[in-house]
């Protein structure tokens, strides 16, 4: 026969009162400590004894003592109740101040763009927060994975999430190294990519990402080919810097290399714009102080995509 291990409704009622009476050895002093009347204390203890099925306290007009059943109940219920109080206080503490473990799920490409500039200052500003960054290009269910929040491109975030914008919209840009472009004709039209080695991205679901472009109000999906398939943008960027081929990456990912002359932006009139990078979480009802502190800290920093967009538009 299957046993029922469900805690009965009201099973903890009266336990705190019983423990207070036991520790004070007095109904009146227990009532004063709990802020109730002695009559209420007496009724609560009697109700607990009725549910337990045994007398827990021996009472006289002069003193209060434990029965054998009461002693056994006290020895086990006392530490357990103290643990419940401590657990509630620990949870309440996380709701009052920025503290505890803050777990974030982010794509690898976002770490140098969004997180590296703020990690040190955030950890210094909030020493009671442990920051854990899980860098992965897989689409992560942050609730199932036990994460406090995630960071993604806006188009990849589920609609039931609460989102916080971290960057303005920015373009996806095609880039190539000066060495590569010195050996090939510079592409001026989307169709020109047929004559180029194009480095491709494989998404977490196994599909190869198409290269996207904008032509007026139309979005064009270009099927390209080339010598390398990678699972993240930094790898594609590094290969493009080495002259292996062209890559299409988020503008902020290529910002520093374009500014330093290691890559050149191509086909910018056809660059498609993405919504930007967002932090997202499921906390519609309440955001814990540790996450609120991080959101406030990171959003106070400058938006890297703003500089990238201006630089890319002038780079062709």
Tell me the CATH number at 217: 3.40.190.290
- Looking at the predicted structure, is the pLDDT value of residue 252 above 50? yes
Distance between CA atoms of residues 16 and 212, nearest Å: 64
116-118-121-127 Cα dihedral, nearest 10 degrees: -90
Domain assignment of residue 53, yes or no: yes
Residues 295, 157: one domain? yes
Domain assignment of residue 7, yes or no: no
pTM, to two decimals: 0.62
Domain boundary among 36, 64, 96: 96
**Helices (runs of H) and strands (runs of E) counted in the chain:** 11, 15
Distance between CA atoms of residues 162 and 300, nearest Å: 19
Domain assignment of residue 175, yes or no: yes
Instruction: Compute the average pLDDT of residues 58-84.
Output: 83
Task: With beta carbons less than 8 A apart as the criterion, state whether 277 and 110 touch.
Answer: yes
Residues 158, 216: one domain? no
Domain boundary among 40, 72, 96: 96
Residues 132, 199: one domain? no
- Looking at the predicted structure, is the pLDDT value of residue 238 above 50? yes
pLDDT, residue 196, reads 96
The half-sphere exposure of 82 on its side-chain side, counting CA atoms within 13 A, is: 8
Question: What are the pLDDT digits (tens) for 195-211?
Answer: 999 999 988 778 899 99
CB atoms near residue 257 (< 10 Å): 18
* DSSP strand pairing (100-106 vs 149-153): parallel
Number of compact structural domains in the chain: 3
- Looking at the predicted structure, is the pLDDT value of residue 160 above 80? yes
Question: What are the pLDDT digits (tens) for 72-127?
Answer: 888 888 888 877 777 776 666 656 688 889 999 998 878 887 888 899 999 999 99
Residues 162, 284: one domain? yes
Q: Which domain holds residue 261?
A: 170-274
């Amino acid at each position: 026969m299957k046993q029922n291990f469900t805690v009965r409704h009201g099973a903890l009622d009266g336990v705190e009162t019983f423990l207070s009476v036991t520790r004070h050895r007095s109904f009146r002093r227990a009532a004063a400590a709990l802020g109730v009347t002695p009559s209420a204390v007496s009724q609560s203890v009697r109700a607990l004894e009725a549910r337990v099925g045994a007398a827990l306290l021996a009472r006289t007009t002069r003193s209060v003592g434990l029965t054998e059943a009461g002693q056994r109940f006290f020895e086990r219920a006392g530490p357990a109740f103290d643990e419940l109080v401590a657990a509630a206080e620990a949870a309440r503490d996380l709701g009052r101040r920025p503290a505890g473990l803050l777990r974030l799920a982010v794509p690898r490409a976002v770490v140098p763009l969004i997180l590296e500039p703020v990690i040190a200052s955030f950890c210094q500003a909030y020493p009671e927060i442990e920051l854990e960054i899980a860098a992965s290009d897989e689409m992560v269910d942050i609730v199932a994975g036990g994460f406090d929040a995630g960071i993604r491109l806006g188009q990849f975030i589920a609609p039931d999430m609460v989102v916080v914008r971290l960057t303005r919209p920015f373009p996806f840009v095609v880039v190539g190294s000066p060495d590569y472009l010195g050996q090939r004709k510079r592409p001026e039209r989307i169709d020109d990519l047929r004559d180029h080695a194009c480095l491709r991205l494989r998404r977490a679901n196994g599909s190869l990402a198409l290269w996207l472009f904008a032509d007026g109000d139309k979005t064009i999906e270009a099927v390209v080919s080339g010598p390398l398939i990678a699972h993240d943008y930094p790898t594609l960027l590094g290969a493009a810097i080495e002259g292996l081929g062209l890559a299409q990456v988020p503008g902020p990912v290529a910002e520093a290399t374009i500014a330093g002359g290691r890559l050149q932006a191509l086909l910018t009139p056809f660059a498609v714009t993405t919504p930007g990078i967002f932090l997202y979480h499921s906390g519609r009802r309440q955001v814990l102080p540790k996450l609120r502190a991080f959101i406030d800290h990171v959003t106070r920093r400058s938006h890297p995509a703003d500089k990238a967009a201006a630089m890319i538009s002038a780079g062709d």
